Amino acid sequence: MKKLFIYYSLTGNGELIANTLRDYYVDVRRIEAKKSLPKFFPLRIFVGGYKAMKNQKDELLPYDKDISQYDEIIIGSPIWNGRLACPINTLLSELDLTNKNITFIFYSGSGDSHEAQQTVKKMFEDVSIINMREPMKNKKELEKLSRYE
């Protein structure tokens, strides 16, 4: 089974997950938003949180959309205001995920991704979800990836 981890990361947690999965021979692809969130932390949380609440889609830099060679697509999203990060909203509207095994990896400060889970469960009949609390601070969380070892 060929697996691809396709993810967004603003502050490095998704990146750490990608590096771990790469060690397990999972292919990885990072997506980037054309416009990043503000650097000033309170403004960043306000702007990103508002956009996520509105389910906005961030415009992405060009990326490879061909996923035809993969059986499992693992989508990595930070949690913004309890929800999917805006670049992931775009990704989900652009990729053809028909007939793929889908797993989401959510990474957040609290480990709580209730609303994001509801969203993806509505979109995909059969979806696997892994929740992680900021693996940069909590390295043990990476053990949740052991199924890919």
CA distance 42 to 29: 29
Q: Binding ligand FMN by CB under 6 A: which of 11, 36, 118, 138?
A: 11
Amino acid type, 79: I
Q: Can you list the alpha helix ranges (DSSP code H) found in the chain?
A: 13-23, 41-53, 86-94, 114-123
5 binds ligand FMN (CB under 6 A): no
Q: Does 38 bind ligand FMN (CB under 6 A)?
A: no
Identity of the residue, 36 or 96, whose beta carbon is nearer to ligand FMN in the bound complex:
36
Distance CA(34)–CA(144), nearest Å, equals 31
* Residue 134 in contact with ligand FMN, rule: CB under 6 A: yes
- What Cα–Cα distance (Å) separates residue 21 from each residue in 56, 87, 146? 28, 21, 9
d(CA 117, CA 99): 20
Q: Is 87 in the site for ligand FMN (CB under 6 A)?
A: no
Q: Is the dihedral of CA 88, 90, 91, 93 positive or negative?
A: positive
Beta partners for 79? 84
Mark residues 88-127: x for contact with ligand FMN by CB under 6 A, - for none: -------------------xxxx-x---------------
For ligand FMN, the closer of residues 105 and 125 by Cβ is 105
Binding mask 46-75 for ligand FMN (x = CB under 6 A): --xx--------------------------
Query: Footprint of ligand FMN on this chain (CB under 6 A)?
Result: 9-14, 44-45, 48-49, 78-82, 107-110, 112, 134
